[in-house]
Amino acid sequence: MSQKNAQSAIEFVVLVGFVLFFFFITYSIVQENTADKQKERQSLIVKDAALAVQDEINLALQSSEGYYRSFKIPENVGNQEYNITIVEEMVYIRTQDGKNAMAFPVQNVTGQLVKGDNTIKKENGKIKLNS
């Protein structure tokens, strides 16, 4: 009788071990997918912020002389600090952790962007930011 109980106990331990192993693998896969989705979401948020600036500049380029508009640039993107600048006719955005960085072309722009309120205007065929 004790041999049967010992065998049952071993079978139970093996079964519990298999269930725990299966649970661990499933949990790891779910965690990895969640992390990938979070990275993708952050990348899209950064991209949207840069594209919004590019759109503002393109709108000013297509507008008539004397165009003037105010727009806002958020303080953070996706709960992260970031830098956004215009360098060599490119809107360049980069998160502080360096995990997300993108650049989009813009034309004929002078001035620099600031987080918060910005002004854009068209004078003499040139686009001026915050001047």
Averaged over 23-36, what is the pLDDT? Answer: 91
pLDDT at position 82 is 94
Helix (H) or strand (E) holding 90: strand 90-95
pLDDT at position 7 is 81
pLDDT at position 26 is 93
Which pLDDT tens digit goes with each residue over 67-79?
999 999 999 988 8
pLDDT at position 98 is 87
Burial environment of residue 125 by CB neighbours within 10 A (0 to 12, 13 to 18, 19 or more): exposed
List strands edge to edge, sheet with 101-105. 82-87, 90-95, 101-105
Across the chain, what does the average pLDDT equal?
91
Rounded to two decimals, what is the model's pTM? 0.75
Domain boundaries, the chain: 2-129
Identity at 67, one-letter amino acid code? Y
Identity at 130, one-letter amino acid code? N
